[in-house]
């Protein structure tokens, strides 16, 4: 349904289900980076009115999620620490074409895939997290991530032809599937 | 009241009062950059819980203002264009100490001054803008800017001693006053 080329392996779920401290800190940083990515897109392509509208709404929503994650952390006495970066997202970004307008399309596709993978992983967490109160939280978030994934695909299809979108989406889906299969199952969102 | 070293000159008010198109586009970009600055601060100093809380709220509020400015633009058929940058803010940033923790204090002080100057200019616009509907808008924003200025000063005093804050604030106020007096009265927020 999410158009992902592979499922997250069981080792990751087992690793994170009982380890909320590391996951929550990393999750907060993911929400913050999603907001930054939305602002970066509207900053780079201000002439696309629908993109600007969607991305400003998205930035507000992602920062609201960041706030919600911070609250879950405070309730559990978990402190925010320095963001070490996200090698999964960085790897996806290396595949973005350097030339416009391909660069624009690739950015939208990469964003849609990151949202889709987050959605899939929140689904797993909503079923398997040992902290029952967090299951509810992840369930509420997975609905948002699925919506965001659709927003990025809608924008891609608004600004590019369907066959061009489909070809590039297939290529990125294959790359993302390989990337995810090779992840070391660390206790972070994209581990 | 705002602790600014000089008032905005009359030429600027006369220039912008009847020229909302350029001003609104620039204003939108100012709100976006204010959100980015807030995220950048919480990203750099994640160990300061109160800063992180305040900056995440601020980022949400600034992006909501960005949305509001976009709406005013849409109603007037004004399109967003590429952000050429803000030389006033850039000049202020050149004065930020390169070494921590002075760098942290300077960033808070610079942010407080930018908010204070915006507040002063929104006050002028709320009285003088020829577009009467925009006067109301500027009036609502000046209250927020005054509050944000106080937030940054509160944070500066939370993390640094009062005499250290006062000394640096005096230095930056003098620098900002010179900078503003030399601006060419262009039809932008910090022109």
B69: pLDDT strictly greater than 90: yes
Query: Which band of pLDDT confidence, cut at 50, 70 and 90, is reported for residue B165?
Result: very high
Tokens of B61: 């509020």
A68-89 pLDDT, tens per residue?
A: 999 999 999 999 999 999 999 9
Which residue has 């509050």 as its token pair? B147
Q: Phi first, then psi: give them for residue A140, nearest 5 degrees.
A: -65, -35
For chain A, positions 104-123, list CB contacts with chain B under 8 A: none
Q: How high is the mean pLDDT of chain B? A: 96
Instruction: Mark out the alpha helices in chain B (DSSP H runs).
Output: 10-17, 20-44, 49-75, 87-94, 102-128, 132-159, 162-181
For chain A, positions 133-172, list CB contacts with chain B under 8 A: none
pTM of the model: 0.96
The secondary structure of residue B130, as a DSSP letter, is S
Mean pLDDT on A186-190: 91
The ipTM is: 0.96
Does residue B67 sit at the A interface (CB-CB below 8 Å)?
Answer: yes
Mean pLDDT on A34-62: 98
CA–CA min distance A73, chain B (Å): 11
Contact A20, A129 (CB under 8 A): yes
CA distance A25 to A80: 6
Mean pLDDT on A15-34: 95
Give the other-Cβ count within 10 Å of A25's Cβ.
22
CA distance A92 to B92: 36
Nearest to A52 among B42, B46, B70 (CB): B70
Q: Cβ B57–A36 below 8 Å, yes or no? A: no
Q: Cβ B36–A36 below 8 Å, yes or no? A: yes
CB burial of residue A32 (10 Å; 0-12, 13-18, 19+) = buried
Mean pLDDT on A34-51: 98
B101-151 pLDDT, tens per residue?
A: 999 999 999 999 999 999 999 999 999 999 999 999 999 999 999 999 999
Mean pLDDT on A137-142: 96
Query: Which band of pLDDT confidence, cut at 50, 70 and 90, is reported for residue A2?
Result: confident
Quote the pLDDT of residue B25.
Answer: 97
Quote the pLDDT of residue B2.
Answer: 85
CA distance A55 to A129: 30
Q: Phi first, then psi: give them for residue B119, nearest 5 degrees.
A: -60, -50
A135: pLDDT strictly greater than 90: yes
């Amino acid at each position: 349904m999410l158009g992902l080329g592979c499922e997250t392996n069981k080792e990751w779920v087992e690793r994170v289900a009982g380890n909320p401290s590391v996951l929550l800190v990393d999750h907060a940083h993911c929400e913050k980076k999603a907001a930054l990515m939305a602002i970066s897109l509207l900053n780079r392509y201000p002439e696309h009115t629908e993109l600007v509208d969607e991305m400003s709404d998205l930035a507000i929503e992602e920062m609201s999620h960041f706030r919600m994650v911070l609250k879950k952390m405070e309730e559990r006495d978990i402190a925010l620490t320095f963001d070490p970066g996200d090698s999964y997202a960085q790897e996806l970004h290396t595949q973005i074409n350097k030339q416009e307008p391909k660069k624009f399309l690739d950015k939208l596709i990469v964003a849609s895939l990151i949202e889709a993978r987050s959605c899939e992983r929140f689904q797993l967490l909503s079923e398997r997290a040992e902290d029952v109160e967090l299951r509810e939280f992840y369930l509420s978030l997975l609905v948002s991530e699925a919506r965001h994934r659709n927003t990025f695909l809608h924008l891609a299809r608004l600004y590019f032809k369907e066959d061009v979108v489909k070809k590039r989406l297939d290529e990125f889906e294959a790359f993302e599937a390989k990337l995810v299969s090779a992840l070391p199952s660390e206790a972070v969102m994209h581990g």
